[in-house]
Structure 1
Amino acid sequence: MNLHQLRFVREAVRQNFNLTEAAKALFTSQPGVSKAIIELEEELGVDIFARHGKRIRGLTEPGRAVLKSVEMIMQEIDGLKRIGKEFAAQDSGSFTIATTHTQARYALPKLVQAFMQKYPKVRLSLLQGSPKQIAEMVMRDQADIAIATEAITSVDGLVSMPCYQWEHVVVVTPDHPLMKLKSITLEDIAKYPLITYDAAFAGRSKIDHAFEVRHLKPDVLLEAIDADVIKTYVELGMGVGIIAGMAFDPERDQNLRTISVGHLFGMNVSRVAVRQGAYLRTYMYTFIEMLSPTMNRKLIDQVMQGGKDSYDL
């Protein structure tokens, strides 16, 4: 048994059981991958993959158990490599953050700027996607951390920590009838076509839940992943927008007005997630501490080890 065999098994699964693509990803030959997997199966005495002819179609029941062990072993190997790299260069290396558009566009710019001033030798990358996509990026080692509001708390294999709270706001044109009300209700909002986030983004689940509780069915005219898109269509007079409060800039959005609706939709918590058992370099701890002032390295370690599961803001 060797590490190459384990890598081949893991990559075969990642490439949807396509050995040709797995071989390309690992810069080797398809016959070599196939042979190594067969030799591992013979050594273990079980079939890892279910086959149809020469093609593999999926994992067998023992194969799923093998894959789980393979993932754990490879995570430990990756951790050893990172330890070596960190002690060789404490303040340099690569750092990949997977996040949603709202976080990347509105929440992170100043923080990233401050971080890069503190660690100018770190090569920082920002990957964007839906909460489900960014969680997968971390699980597949394509990113070091994920930052989002929705979904990442329920992903097996990820440990998440709260960063900061925020509220939704309604955005309208200056002459909109809602601006004349001293306070607005869900019933008031539901009278107008709504323009808001796609179901997977930026606290949309809380928006939907609030209307459902009041037995209201608002006319959602347009859904988007980008608050700038939402604001553009609101400016055109097509409806009432609901966006994250952080996404409104009075200087840039001079043709719009906001109405606070935190009392209607509740508080939202953005969270940072890392893979369980991951090795964090010093500057990654620093970034998380900058992202959430209530966090420190000791507390982060406790959360990752399962000692602070109930921790919250």
Structure 2
Amino acid sequence: MNLHQLRFVREAVRQNFNLTEAAKALYTSQPGVSKAIIELEEELGVDIFTRHGKRIRGLTEPGRAVLRSVELIMQEIDGLKRIGKEFAAQDTGSFTIATTHTQARYALPPVVQAFMYRFPKVRLSLLQGNPRQIAEMVLKDQADMAIATEAIANVDGLVTLPCYQWEHVVVVPPEHPLLKSKTITLEEIATFPLITYDSAFTGRAKIDHAFAIRSLKPDVLLEAIDADVIKTYVELGMGVGIIAGMAFNEERDKGLRAISAGHLFGTNVSRVALKQGSYLRGYVYSFIELLTPTMNRKLIEQVMSGEKDNYEL
């Protein structure tokens, strides 16, 4: 048994059981991958994959157990490599963050700026997607960290930490009738066409739930993943917008007015997600501390070790 065999098994699953694509991803030959997997199966005495002819189609029951062990072993190997790199160079390396557009556009710029000032030799990359996509990026080691709302809180294989709280606001053009209301209601909002986030983004589930429990069916005219797009169409007078409060700036958005809507849609919590059991470079701890001043390395290590009960905002 060797590490190449374990890598081949893991990559075959990641490539949807396509050995040709697995070989390409690992810069080797397809016959070599197939032979190594067969040799591993013979050594273990079980079939890892189900087959149709020469093609693999899926995992057998023992194959699923083998894959779990392979993932743990490869995670430990990756951790050993990172340990060596960190002690060889404490303040250099690469750091990939997967996040949503709202976080990347409005919440992260000052944090990223402060981080890059402190660690100028670190190559930082930002990947964007919806919460499900960015969680997968971390699970597949394509990113070191994910940042999104509560949607990533209960993903198997991830450990999450609360960052900060925020609320939605309703955005309208100046002189809009809703500005005359002392305390805006869902019933008032529902009388206008609605422009808000796509269902996978930025607390949209809470928006939908708030209307549903009041038996209201708002006319959702337009859905977008980007608050700037939402604000553009609100400025055109096409409807009422609902966006994250962090996405509104009085100086920048002079053609709009914001109405607090926390009493309608509740409080949202943005979270950092890390792969369970992963080894964190020192500067990753520093980034989390910049993002969440109430956190420190000791608390983060306790959460990563499984002590998660007492770390909510």
Query: Counterpart of 1:229?
Result: 229
Distance 2:234 2:57 in 1: 48
Query: Counterpart of 1:113?
Result: 113
Could you say what secondary structure the match of 1:167 adopts? strand
8 Å CA contact retained: 2:166, 2:267: yes
Query: Counterpart of 2:39?
Result: 39
Distance 1:74 1:309 in 2: 28
TM-score normalized by structure 1?
A: 0.99
Question: Does 2:132 align with 1:132?
Answer: yes
After TM superposition, list the pairs within 5 Å mapping 1:124-273 onto structure 2. Answer: 124-273=124-273
Query: Counterpart of 1:291?
Result: 291
Structure 1 stretches of 4+ moved >6 Å: none
Amino acid corresponding to residue 91 of structure 2 in structure 1: D
8 Å CA contact retained: 1:173, 1:256: yes
8 Å CA contact retained: 2:98, 2:126: yes
| Root mean square deviation of aligned Cα | 0.7
Percent identical across equivalent pairs?
83
Question: Does 2:58 align with 1:71?
Answer: no
Query: Counterpart of 1:14?
Result: 14
Deviation, structure 1 residue 150: 3.7
Distance 1:269 1:195 in 2: 22
Distance 1:238 1:62 in 2: 57
Distance 1:264 1:282 in 2: 40
Amino acid corresponding to residue 245 of structure 2 in structure 1: G
For residues 240-283 of structure 1, what are the alpha-carbon distances to aligned partners after superposition, in whole Å with 9 as ceiling and x for unaligned?
00000000122221111100011111110000000000000100
Could you say what secondary structure the match of 2:164 adopts? strand
Distance 1:71 1:249 in 2: 44
Distance 2:238 2:44 in 1: 63
8 Å CA contact retained: 1:150, 1:201: no
TM-score normalized by structure 2?
A: 0.99
8 Å CA contact retained: 1:8, 1:33: yes
For residues 45-90 of structure 1, what are the alpha-carbon distances to aligned partners after superposition, in whole Å with 9 as ceiling and x for unaligned?
0100000011111111111010000000000000000000000000
8 Å CA contact retained: 2:138, 2:275: yes
Distance 2:260 2:73 in 1: 49
Amino acid corresponding to residue 302 of structure 2 in structure 1: Q
Distance 1:275 1:309 in 2: 18
For residues 20-51 of structure 1, what are the alpha-carbon distances to aligned partners after superposition, in whole Å with 9 as ceiling and x for unaligned?
00000000000000000000000000100000
Amino acid corresponding to residue 275 of structure 2 in structure 1: R
Distance 1:97 1:73 in 2: 24
Deviation, structure 1 residue 311: 1.8
Distance 2:193 2:71 in 1: 47
Distance 1:152 1:38 in 2: 37
8 Å CA contact retained: 1:150, 1:200: no
Distance 2:154 2:221 in 1: 29
Amino acid corresponding to residue 260 of structure 1 in structure 2: S
Distance 2:126 2:251 in 1: 26
Query: Counterpart of 2:50?
Result: 50
Amino acid corresponding to residue 153 of structure 1 in structure 2: A
Distance 1:28 1:309 in 2: 45
Distance 2:113 2:31 in 1: 47
8 Å CA contact retained: 2:150, 2:268: no
Count of paired positions? 313
